[in-house]
Structure formats: structure tokens, C-alpha cells
Amino acid sequence: MLQIAELTIGRGVTALVGANGSGKTTLLHTVAGLLPAAGAVSVLGRTPDEARGRVAYVLQSSAVSAHLLVTVEETVALARAASRGPFRRLRPADRAVVRRSMERLDVAPLARRQLAELSAGQRQRVFVAQGLAQDADVLLLDEPVAGLDLPSADRIGSVVAEERARGATVVIATHDLDEAARADHVVLLAGRVVAAGPPSSVLTADHLRVAYGSSLLDLGDRLVALDDGAHGHHGPSTPD
């Protein structure tokens, strides 16, 4: 259960941070129109259902069945096909968007490969490319770089920076406090909003202790959230 009285997420990169079960994915689902909201939720001035076509949601990559015979290009192209309706062929402009999205994530050389043949990092880059191909105003990313190889994580990070530069709203659910510190805005969750605002004012020792409780380990110059795979944060370990 996620309780939020009032929260505004603007342009730029917003990181959603909190322990497992804190409400990060619930909030993403609500913005994407996949879960009903208990109160009033406005996305781009509309209800989540009305704004769904302007919101791209990239879930955390998971294993893909070897029996799923779909190529990288077909996976990314689904982003354009969904807006065309059933049995509608993609236009040349749509195919250009698909190609450009694959190039941005360095998966164009894999276009003919089966999705199930890819590594976890390659597969996650394909799903991010699919999100980009929607040309959305809001991009939601659920743990986009968790457990990935460094080149894949860096490529996804670069694309997030590019989306920020073009004026998009990017919302990232992450367990990595250092990743959150690089965002424009941070929302710290614990079934409710503990704090929201610039990273420097949100990722303080006091706020993190409220959100993580006894699972937050203070190492002096580093705070480590033990229940989230030991993702730490370099910064002051004493309250500001």
C-alpha cells in the first residue's frame, strides 16, 4: 500500500528510492495507468488512462523463454505497431524510428538475433530501445541497470542523459543510492513519501534511516542499504 498525499514530478530525471516493498514499482504502475489510484493522479494534465499513449514504461529485464521466437527488431517495432492498431503495416517513418532507437542503444547489429539468445545486458538495452521508439513524453524505467554489465549500464545511462537534454520526464526506480544522487530529483519512499526534492536534501542520513531502518549500515564515509544488494551512497553519514 503506497500512501501519497501530494507529489509533483517535473521534467528531468527523477529517481525513486526505497527498500524492497517501499512502493517504487507501485508508483510507476500508477503513473503508467496499470494500477488504479486511490486519489487524484494527473499525468501531463490528464488521467493516467488518457495519457497512456504518451508514457513509455520499461520494466526490469527478466529471462525470456527460448520458445519465444521474436527478433530484436521485431521487439522494438512493437512500440510502433501498438499505435497503428491490429493488422496495420508500419510506415517508413516508423521503421526509421525503430532503427534509430536500436542505434542509440547499440543493438542495431543484433537486429536479426532472437531475443532469447541475448545476454541480460543486451536484452535490457533492447527493451529500453523499445521504450524510446514510442516517442513518449514520459519514460518510466524500473531498475534499468540492475545487475548489468558496465557497457550496457553506461549506454543506458547515456540515453537517460539524452532524454533529459531533450526535455523529457524520466522516472527511474532504483536501489542504487549513488545513481539516485546523480538525478535531478529524488523521491524517497517507505510506503509513503519520506522526502522529495534535490538529491542533496533528500539523501541525508536522517531521511535514509527513516526509509531503510536497521537495514541501513553506516560505514563512516558510506551508507549501505543491506536489504537491497549492498548498494551504497558516498556522502555525509551524519545529518546535515
Quick check: 16 pLDDT over 70? yes
Q: Has residue 6 been placed in a domain?
A: no
Q: Which residues contact 151 (CB under 8 A, 6 or more apart)?
A: 121
Torsion of CA 179, 236, 10, 22, to 10 degrees: 70
Q: Has residue 7 been placed in a domain?
A: no
Q: Which residues contact 203 (CB under 8 A, 6 or more apart)?
A: 17, 177, 180, 181, 186, 188, 233, 235
**Domain span including residue 179:** 12-234
Quick check: 238 pLDDT over 80? no
Please write the tens of the pLDDT for every residue from 94-147.
999 999 999 999 999 999 999 989 999 999 999 999 999 999 999 999 999 988
Please write the tens of the pLDDT for every residue from 61-107.
666 666 678 899 999 999 987 665 554 678 899 999 999 999 999 99
- Domains identified in the chain, total number: 1
Please write the tens of the pLDDT for every residue from 175-218.
888 899 999 999 999 988 999 999 999 999 889 988 888 777 77
Would you state the pLDDT for residue 6? 65
Q: Has residue 168 been placed in a domain?
A: yes
CATH number at residue 143: 3.40.50.300
Q: Has residue 153 been placed in a domain?
A: yes
Whether the CB-CB separation of 76 and 130 falls below 8 Å is answered with yes
Quick check: 240 pLDDT over 50? no
Q: Has residue 203 been placed in a domain?
A: yes
Q: Residue 71: phi, psi to the nearest 5?
A: -85, 170
Q: Has residue 68 been placed in a domain?
A: yes
Would you state the pLDDT for residue 55? 93
Q: Has residue 142 been placed in a domain?
A: yes
Q: Has residue 50 been placed in a domain?
A: yes
Bridge partners for 172 per DSSP: 15, 141
Dig out the grid coordinates for 218 from the structure: 553506516
